[in-house]
Amino acid sequence: MNIVRVNIKNLREERRISLRALARQLKISASFLSQIETGKASPSLVTLKNIANALQTTVGNLIGESQKVTGNPVTTEKERLHLNRAFKGINVYLLTAPDPNKQMEPLLLHMDEHTDSGDSAYTHFGQEFVFVIKGAIEISLNKTTYTLKKGDSIYFNSSIPHTFRNIGKEKAEALWVDTPPTF
Amino acid sequence: MNIVRVNIKNLREERRISLRALARQLKISASFLSQIETGKASPSLVTLKNIANALQTTVGNLIGESQKVTGNPVTTEKERLHLNRAFKGINVYLLTAPDPNKQMEPLLLHMDEHTDSGDSAYTHFGQEFVFVIKGAIEISLNKTTYTLKKGDSIYFNSSIPHTFRNIGKEKAEALWVDTPPTF
DNA sequence: ACAGGTGTTAACTTATGCTTGACAGCCAAA
DNA sequence: TTTGGCTGTCAAGCATAAGTTAACACCTGT
């Protein structure tokens, strides 16, 4: 990796702003902006931040889009990687092969009756999304507890301390997606 | 703004990795890494990306762009927003309220028998993940066709032209997550 | 023919990303 | 105490690449 592609062109064109106009606003030459857009040069961090601000996005967004994932895209039910270091009575399966370029981490949770994520709450960076496929679970965010039945979902900041448990008398199944990956 | 502060120290110490060890891994000098940590120098974009990878985070996090999501996190089955502009015979539901700070877009697809995404393939930025909850669907990436049964999943670059269809005789249900959001 | 817009390229200068090599502080074993 | 091996920091310098200027080719409208 000797250059990081920055996706400016699409965003710029979406906002109907010409290359020269954007360059003027950023106080860099139009020529250099063109070089950045065409992947022939990399901006400095400061310039990149300025570009992100001007286009009303984030640096992460500008460079996130260039990430390419390779390898076999499919993970079948049988091939799922089982995570051992999981919780007691809860089976966690990775739904895609680990890859540093992947921005999401999809997990499948099989929770036995009356199981939970343990005593300590999880706090990390990013966002997560949970969709209940079967049964019902409880997710606690910062002491507020939400009950999710089959078909319900939740989206929250991973920085909020979170725990979860299967309240029901039946097994529960949930799809869990983190961004960025935590494992 | 002539320098962008990069928050490495905390993450590095959290992972119990010394400055020199991290520098070795990144193939930069320990000295330079120290300069970056203390705000005396800025890394290049490539180096910053490497740092983010090594620390299992994103560039956005390193430079303090942690986006926070607000509002009610839960979307129940009944409250799901139905997307009208979807495909014929395919019902698409948004599984979380739209929010520019959200980095993922979870969708639920209900596909009638023998329905598809239409003639033209989709090509956009980002990555996506699909998990089949019910039935079986076919996803074509760049002319390679994958068949996914219940419990199977796929993870691919959105930039690959993609189409999908329900091949089975029964209705299919799939969870679809895009990053970044497309709607 | 212009004039004014679009984006791209080659060649150059100069700023800075990154290095080497030294430094001080700390802890443990001899 | 000394030695060794860690820890992180700093100054000075080099070489690379960030950013420039000035030209280019392509439009569209007058």
CB contact under 8 A, B177 and A69: no
What is the nearest CA distance from A88 to chain B, expressed in angstroms?
23
pLDDT tens for B69-112 read 777 889 999 999 998 767 888 999 999 998 877 889 999 999 99
Mean pLDDT of A134-163: 92
Chain C bases near protein Cβ (<7 Å): 5-10, 16-22
The spacing between the Cα labelled CA in B34 and the C1' in D11, in angstroms, equals 14
Sorting pLDDT into bands at 50, 70 and 90, what band is A67? low
Q: How far apart are CA B95 and CA B112, in angstroms?
A: 19
Q: Is the pLDDT of residue B65 over 80?
A: no
Helix H or strand E segment including A9: helix A9-14
Cα–Cα distances (Å) from B111 to A183, B105, B128, B144, in that order, read: 33, 19, 18, 21
Chain D bases near protein Cβ (<7 Å): 6-11, 17-23
% of residues, chain A, pLDDT over 70: 94
Nearest residue, CB atoms, A175 vs list B60, B67, B175? B175
Maximum CA pair distance of chain A?
A: 65
Q: Is the pLDDT of residue A2 over 90?
A: no
Least confident of A51-60, A63-72, B149-158, B159-168: A63-72
Strands annotated E in A8-54 = none
Nearest residue, CB atoms, A155 vs list B43, B76, B96? B96
CB contact under 8 A, A106 and B96: no
Q: Is the pLDDT of residue A66 over 50?
A: no
pTM of the predicted model as reported, rounded to 2 decimal places? 0.72
Which nucleotide is closest to A43, CA to C1'? Answer: D18
Cβ atoms of B69 and B99 within 8 Å: the answer is yes
Q: Is the pLDDT of residue A65 over 60?
A: no
pLDDT tens for A94-135 read 999 988 778 899 999 999 999 998 887 888 778 899 999 999
Q: Is the pLDDT of residue A139 over 80?
A: yes
**Secondary structure class of B5 (helix, strand, coil):** coil
**Secondary structure class of A32 (helix, strand, coil):** helix
Phi, psi of A40 (to 5 degrees): -95, -10
% of residues, chain B, pLDDT over 90: 52
* Residue appearing with tokens 């400016």: A8
Query: For chain A, what is the mean pLDDT?
Result: 87
Q: How far apart are CA B96 and CA B102, in angstroms?
A: 9
Q: Is the pLDDT of residue B138 over 80?
A: yes
The spacing between the Cα labelled CA in A68 and the C1' in C18, in angstroms, equals 28
Count of CA atoms in the C-beta half-sphere (13 A) of A108: 26
Q: Is the Cα torsion angle A152, A156, A158, A164 positive or negative in sign? A: negative
Q: Which residue has the higher pLDDT, A159 or A114?
A: A114
pLDDT of residue B90: 92
Q: What are the chain A neighbours of B146 within 8 Å (beta carbons)?
A: 73-74
Cα–Cα distances (Å) from B95 to A123, B80, B81, in that order, read: 23, 6, 7
CB contact under 8 A, B104 and A74: no
Cα B179 to the center of its chain, rounded Å: 3
Neighbouring CB atoms inside 10 A of B31's CB total 12
**Secondary structure class of A129 (helix, strand, coil):** strand
Nearest residue, CB atoms, B104 vs list A95, A157, A179? A179
Q: Is the pLDDT of residue A170 over 70?
A: yes
Residue nearest to nucleotide C10 (CA to C1'): A31
Tell me whether the omega of the peptide bond preceding residue B98 falls within 30 degrees of 0, making it cis. Answer: no
Chain B residues 20-39 with Cβ under 7 Å of strand C are 27-32, 35
Which alpha helices (DSSP H) does chain B contain, by range? 9-14, 19-26, 30-37, 45-54, 59-62
Cα–Cα distances (Å) from A167 to A133, A171, B82, B145, B150, in that order, read: 15, 9, 29, 40, 25
Strands annotated E in B72-122 = 74-75, 81-83, 90-94, 105-111
The spacing between the Cα labelled CA in B47 and the C1' in C7, in angstroms, equals 29
pLDDT tens for B20-50 read 999 999 999 999 999 999 899 999 999 999 9
**Ramachandran region of residue B71, left (φ > 0), alpha (ψ -120 to 50) or beta?**
left
Which nucleotide is closest to A31, CA to C1'? Answer: C8
The spacing between the Cα labelled CA in B53 and the C1' in D3, in angstroms, equals 38
Residue nearest to nucleotide C15 (CA to C1'): A44
Say whether the CB atom of B41 is under 7 angstroms from strand C. yes
Q: How far apart are CA A71 and CA B114, in angstroms?
A: 29
